[in-house]
Amino acid sequence: MGEKNWICRWGNIKKLRVYIIILFFLTLTETASISIASGMTVYVAGDGSGDFNCDGKADDVQINQALKFLAENPDYTTVYLKGPFTYTIDNTIYIQSSNTVLEGDSAAVVKLVDHAGWTNSPMIPLIGSKGSVNNLTVRGFEIDGNHNGNTETPKGKGYYNCIYFGQVKNITVCNMYMHDGHGDGLRIHYGENIQFYNNTISLLGHDGLYAIESQNVEAWNNTITCRTNSGLRVWNSNHVKFHDNFIDSSYDKDAGGPGIQIQKSSAVMDDIEVYNNTIHNTFGPGLWLIGYGSSYSREEAQNVHIHHNIFYSTGTNPSIDWVGGIVTSGFYDTLIENNVFDGVYHAAVIHMYPEGKSTDLSPAGTGYTTIIRNNIIVNTLKRKKDPRGTGYCVINYLPGTHTFVLQNNCLFNNEAGDYINTESKSDIYANPLFADPKNHDYHLRSTGGRWNGKSWIKDRISSPCIDAGYSSSDYSNEPEDNGKRINIGRYGNTEEASKSGIMPGYVAWWHQVVPSRALMRIFFFNIF
């Protein structure tokens, strides 16, 4: 028996040794895979802790060496700029391989050197690409265009764009801070699948995003302060979504552009959507939609959808006349619905095109129609340049070729009046009763319930815009009680739409809401 027990124990020991060996190799394998994964990133630093180290002078050299290392070693995918540090560059940083991520700490700053002198040719950017590369991501760090250190260079002429890629697919630029430049934030030519989000853009010399002859462009959650031109812009591009952005302008002697610019001259543009943006205090119009050039078919420029945006105080430029909320020409069947226009200059929506520019911007065709539906237009002001005949809600300067269709809009307190060269049989003319217009809270007051950003509250009076929208408009996203009809204004057919109904304990009395007990006291006082 003793011998058998000894044999059994020896067998168990052997099994245990096998298990230990297996566990050892599994641990080695796991460690090896962890090592490989962590090795995918190459670090650039200014404190000596990086794989490539910079000293604050001509730091593009080391950053380009790191990107070249990625190109030569496909297992590595990311160059990471460590902060806090300012990487001063004398030449362009070039992404040299597909599937590359260039990212950094928020305190990592790429800054153009003083008096860079890259003026032999425009379109030389701070960050660009070499060869045929796709699947690129730039994120997380700061780009300082050093405008004040390069004042000898003109703005808006193609110099010193922060990022410029041509003939690329699958581009993401996010969580960046780009500021004080001479050119664009992100410029794309012949791009496809472009995502631009969560960026802060301030005082650039051209557009925040400029996509030219590109497809599938989406920009959202960006905060953009324009200096010279537009916040977001596409030209001859299609399948575009601009949404949930905050765009304004800061004064500059060269200022003049719109918040959003959508421009067609030769390509098909039939899938453009602009929604949930707040655009205010722009020098040019809040949004400029323009088609021009040789004659084109309806199918090439149609069905732009502009909805659920807020425009206030747009069109402040005293030197141009094509200001307003939305200025448009040359597009068929544009639908502008459920927006708020408050205190814009000239008019909320205008059919016109700028004349006297170097390019003829007049559309060649006829029959262009813009549908204006379920919008609230209040407090429109006369434009600053040549104010005569301005300050209306809607103006059509092109009645021979362009037509407005107005349906169930609410108009109130507009300086000069309602319409020029158009009319409506369904608009209403009443105070919309915004929750807090001074602070740009455009929710509608309601006895049935209004969303205040945190909870539903009830008012003692209801807006005339509740349940007053176009009868065929979708209202399915509005909370109950929704009256089975869409609200006019920014929050119509959204989950924040003000509710229908009278608050319990209150009754309607001469368009006011009065507590039922108080009404009874009034009744008995008058009777007895």
Q: Quick one: which of 246, 250, 242, 243 has its CA closest to 226?
A: 250
Q: Do residues 438 and 417 both lie within one domain?
A: no
**Number of structural domains found in the chain:** 3
Within a domain: residue 30?
Answer: no
pLDDT, tens digit, 9 for 90 and up, residues 5-40: 434 444 554 444 444 443 443 343 333 332 323 349
pLDDT in tens, 248-294: 998 776 676 899 999 999 999 999 999 999 999 999 999 999 999 99
User: Is residue 12 in a domain?
Assistant: no
Look at residue 7 and tell me if it is in a domain: no
Q: Is residue 369 part of a domain?
A: yes
The residue out of 378, 410, 429 marking a domain boundary is 429
pLDDT: is 157 or 199 the higher one? 199
Same domain, 218 and 296: no
424 contacts 407 by C-beta, under 8 angstroms:
yes
Full DSSP string of 409-461: -EEE--SS-SEES---SS-EES---EEEGGGTEEEEP-SS-EE-SSSEE--SS
Residue 463 domain boundaries: 431-528
Residue of 322, 418, 417, 317 lying closest to 372 (CA atoms): 418
Does residue 339 sit in the same domain as residue 471? no
Domain boundary among 429, 450, 482: 429
Residue 175 lies in a domain: yes
Tens of pLDDT, residues 417-465: 999 999 999 999 999 999 999 999 999 999 999 999 999 999 999 999 9
Considering the domain architecture, whether residues 425 and 435 belong to the same structural domain is answered as: no
Q: Are residues 324 and 362 in the same domain?
A: yes
Asked whether residue 19 is domain-assigned, the answer is: no
**455 is a domain residue:** yes
pTM (whole model) above 0.85: yes
Q: Which residue has the higher pLDDT, 227 or 114?
A: 114
User: What pLDDT is attached to residue 18?
Assistant: 41
Does 232 share its domain with 125?
yes
| Long-range Cβ contacts of 218-221 (<8 Å, 24+ apart) | 218/194, 218/242, 218/243, 219/195, 219/243, 219/245, 220/196, 220/244, 220/245, 221/197, 221/245
Residues 157 and 49 in one domain: yes
Question: Chain-wide mean pLDDT for the chain?
Answer: 89
In this structure, the answer to whether residues 210 and 295 fall within a common structural domain is no
CA-to-CA distance for 450 and 462, rounded, in angstroms? 10
Please indicate, yes or no, whether residues 424 and 482 belong to a single structural domain of this protein: no
Which residue type does 368 have? Y
| Residue at 1 is within a domain | no
* Domain CATH number, residue 162: 2.160.20.10
Boundary (domain end) residue, out of 204, 221, 255: 255
Q: Do 477 and 338 fall within a single domain?
A: no
- Assess whether 231 and 266 both reside in one domain: no
Question: Is the domain of 244 the same as that of 129?
Answer: yes
Return the pLDDT at 521. Answer: 44
| 262 neighbors 293 (Cβ within 8 angstroms) | no
- Percent of the chain scoring above 90 in pLDDT: 82
How far is residue 324's CA from residue 368's CA, in Å, rounded to a whole number? Answer: 19
**Mean pLDDT for the stretch of residues 492-520:** 62
* Model confidence band, residue 213 (pLDDT cutoffs 50, 70, 90): very high
User: Is the pLDDT reported for residue 231 higher than 70?
Assistant: yes
Q: pLDDT, tens digit, for every residue of 358-413? A: 789 999 999 999 999 999 999 999 999 999 999 999 999 999 999 999 999 999 99
